[in-house]
Structure 1
Amino acid sequence: MTTGMPATTPAPMNPPGVLLDPYDYDFHEDPYPYYRRLRDEAPLYRNDELGFWALSRHSDVHQGFRNSTTLSNKFGVSLDPASRGPHAAKTMSFLAMDDPSHLRLRTLVSKGFTPRRIRELEPRVTQIATQHLDVLMERAADGTVDYVEEFAGKLPMDVISELMGVPVPDRDQVRAWADGVMHRDEGVTDVPPAAIEASLNLIVYYQEMVAERRKTPSDDLTTALLEAEIDGDRLTDDEVLGFMFLMVIAGNETTTKLLANAAFWGYQNPDQLAPLYDNLERIPLWVEETLRYDTSSQILARTVAGDLTLHDTTIPDGDVVLLLPGSAHRDERVFDRPDDFVIGREIGSKLLSFGSGAHFCLGAHLARMEARVALAELFKRIRGYEVDEANSVRVHSSNVRGFAHLPMTIHPR
């Protein structure tokens, strides 16, 4: 794989002041002014220093997601150097594959990870949410409470552990490792040693769990994956492990960020949120507008396979192209008043938070169900809240957006 090669046609000159650095803390705090300039002035952007191109307009991002031949997933979907390469599928499963390998693995996984299994999980998700809310409300009674630490950061990983069959006593440790996989300190543009150690700990834990399920099957997703079979074809242990790890990264982190982003932007737009306290049926609309307005998954990488021509420029084979759904959702070419948070606006198939085409997120229905249940259970207990913006802390990541800490004051019903 080659990156940063000169284009066969001259690369467009970026206009002065137009910049995209996915590792910059100022960009993490508010990427949307950067995105606007990209869409307006450099719809095909080139960063020579970091060796990538970027697409920011909705039509280009949408087509990019649907182009799974010329824009390949085989080296992974992260810009981080340690995460990119032919090894990416070990931790990102079929998300880091092209067809036919992608289709085979996704089809087998789908035999265990079914919509029915997700539906049947909902009562248990409600129970887990209730348990964490009990603690949240108890601590909120003494003043400010960290919504991420006590609720949004706990529920998604516990739901994944429930789904996989991780014993309850192990879940705090598994959640801590999962958090360690994603954490980045300022200025770090690659996977740090602590994250690699956390990844290894998780993999070893899941290896032992898979070995145990081979001996003693259970009624969980891990067993369902081991038993999934199509015409004699089964998943290997490594393939099961890869999918379990993908769930930790893609399913845990993005849903945590979705729950916190929903709370933050709801607080910022009280007129939009007020009707939901007496009408919980509108909570899915709150979830959808959050996914559009400030999506967890902001940046996804692809690798050019063969030559690709966009905006009168030929991008050479092997170069990295970043797709920016976070920018696409603020494109005024597609959305009316895109910078306004409007619960109930028409979004439909224009939403790109879960991708599109062959790689559409297999866990989209799980994420939406979790968010709906979590926010509904919260609103059954409260009549309002205030976010302590001054002490809120954003997560620093090259591809996801959300909060590491979101302190708030809660008013119970």
Structure 2
Amino acid sequence: MGCPVRRDADGGWTITGYPAGRALLRESATVQAGLGVETVDKMPASIRRPVLYRDGPEHREHRRQTARFFTPRRVDSYRGLMEHVADEQIARLRAAGTVDLADLSFKLAIDVTAAVIGLTESRPGIQRRLERFFPEKFGRPGFTSVNGIYWLFRQIANWSRIYFGDVRPAVRARRTERRDDLISHLLDEGCKNTEILGECLTFAAAGMVTTREFVVLVAWHMFTDDALRRKYLAAAEPERLGILHEIIRLEPVIGQLRRRTTAEVVLPGAVVPKDAVVRVQLCTANLDPDVAGAEPLDLCPGRDMPDGGLSFGDGAHKCPGSHVAIMETDIFLSKLLAVEGIQMVSRPRVTFKEDIATYELRGMRVSIAA
């Protein structure tokens, strides 16, 4: 691991130790410095930023008011929906014979997250619209090249498709009659349609795209480790959830978070100056042997490290939907892996998005043996 807190040659700071990483993420004298904040900063000042890109009292108050959508009791109320969607995806597999697991897991994550947000009046094709908005390969929009112009207009078109196909129908329905979901809450706060679009896309990235990858990742572990798969299928739900938390500790979908300090910050082992960009390497911090214990590189269910370490972040910006993601993954995979004859036909293709330190798994095909 080396030094747990160090200053890099580019002037930024990197944290690889767990105590320092958690302390930085819990520090109030920091603001968001990653996950596309540079693009959001170019938005007109009159448009309210999505919650992911806000900090301070306004952010804390928003999180306090929306916490009810993600409490353990509320998450448990989505269980019936998760069961239904999981059964639908397994039925798709049975009908097709062989499918790309990422396709099934994305549909699962879309339907569950859409219910939490309130995107329940979408026109047909939401999965296709989201796949276009979050492609495997991104281009950089701009006016200085043909490729940049292409990606600029493609981005505008993708925003428009999701707005007219998903967000506007949901907003119209809730202006007529409020419901107990996020979009209704945003309307009560006086948000404009464009601001609601931004919040919905933020939750789509956090709740749909990352869950798609995690489901495939866990399935890959299970298909290549017979002992782990048997242990998982024989376990009660609390133990199964523990296995999922241990997997995400080892391989967090988002491997790095960045923050910028707004004042001098004192961390275990270092003092970080004001206006410093700090990279918290979650994937390394979770391997800190002082916290993870012995053999931190091994997959050891039952490890005394709560909720997957820092894999869902920490502090004010900790992922509010972590319990949703873990539960829907467990419900889907406990059903899928129990199907008689289920097998992996091809391993996934692994790619990385360095700008947001995440991985993508595509092409993992599963089938049911005759």
Distance 1:279 1:89, change over 3 A: farther
Q: In structure 2, what is the equivalent of residue 159 of structure 1?
A: 112
- Give, in whole Å, the separation in 2 of the partners of 1:387 and 1:289: 25
Q: Do structure 1's residue 272 and structure 2's residue 228 form an aligned pair?
A: yes
What TM-score comes out, normalization by structure 1 length? 0.74
2:3–2:16 CA contact under 8 A, matched in 1: no
Deviation at 1:240, TM superposition (A): 4.0
Aligned to 1:119: 76
Q: Does 1:237 align with 2:189?
A: no
Matched, 1:176 2:135: no
1:7-406 correspondence runs (5 A): 39-40=1-2, 43-46=5-8, 48=10, 52-69=12-29, 71-73=30-32, 76-78=33-35, 81-83=38-40, 93-111=50-68, 115-139=72-96, 141=97, 144-149=98-103, 151-167=104-120, 170=123, 172=125, 174-183=126-135, 185=137, 193=152, 194-195=154-155, 197-205=157-165, 207-217=167-177, 219=179, 221-222=181-182, 224-226=184-186, 234-237=189-192, 240-279=196-235, 281=237, 282-308=239-265, 315-335=272-292, 336-348=294-306, 351-382=309-340, 385-386=343-344, 388-389=346-347, 392-399=349-356, 401-406=358-363
Provide the residue aligned with 2:145 in structure 1. none
What does the per-residue CA deviation read over 1:177-224, in whole Å, with 9 as the maximum and x for residues that have no partner? 333333353786999534454234324545523541344225452554
The change in CA–CA distance for 1:196 and 1:322 in structure 2 (over 3 A counts) is farther
Report the secondary structure of 2:313's partner residue.
coil
Aligned-residue sequence identity (percent) comes to: 20
Task: Specify the SS of the correspondent of 1:105.
Answer: helix
On the 8 A contact 2:122/2:166 being kept in 1, the answer is no
SS at match of 1:153: helix
Shift in Å, 1:155: 0.9
| Counterparts in 2 of 1:289 and 1:324: CA distance versus 1, 3 Å | same
Q: Which runs of 5+ in 2 are unaligned?
A: 143-147
Q: What CA distance in whole angstroms lies between the structure 2 residues aligned with 1:304 and 1:405?
A: 36
* Deviations 1:355-403 (CA, angstroms, capped at 9, x unpaired): 22222222122112211211122123245533623x6243535325343
**Retained in 2: the 8 A contact 1:182–1:195?**
no
Shift of 1:311: 8.2
Q: Give the Å deviation of 1:314.
A: 5.8
Cα distance, 1:95 vs. partner? 2.2
- Partner of 1:18 in structure 2? none
Farther-moved stretch of structure 1 (311-320 vs 375-384): 311-320
Q: SS where residue 346 of structure 1 aligns?
A: coil
CA distance in 2, matches of 1:166, 1:311: 43
CA contact (8 A) 2:113 2:204 kept: yes
What amino acid maps onto 1:356 in structure 2?
Answer: D
Q: TM-score, normalised by structure 2?
A: 0.82
- Residue segments in structure 1 that go unaligned for 5+ positions in a row: 1-38, 229-233
Distance 1:104 1:260, change over 3 A: same
Alpha-carbon distance between aligned partners in 1 of 2:223 and 2:283, rounded to the nearest angstrom: 20
C-alpha distance in structure 2 between counterparts of 1:312 and 1:343, whole Å: 30
C-alpha distance 168-203 of structure 1, shift in aligned 2 (>3 A): closer
Compute the displacement of 1:302 (Å).
0.8
Compared CA separation, residues 96 and 79, structure 1 to 2 (3 A): closer
Answer with 294-303 or 357-366: which moved more: 357-366
Count of residue pairs brought into register by the alignment: 359
CA distance in structure 2 between the partners assigned to 1:52 and 1:167 by the alignment:
43
Aligned residue type for 1:180:
R
Matched-pair contact (CA < 8 Å) for 2:289–2:295:
yes
Deviates more, 1:296-305 or 1:263-272: 263-272
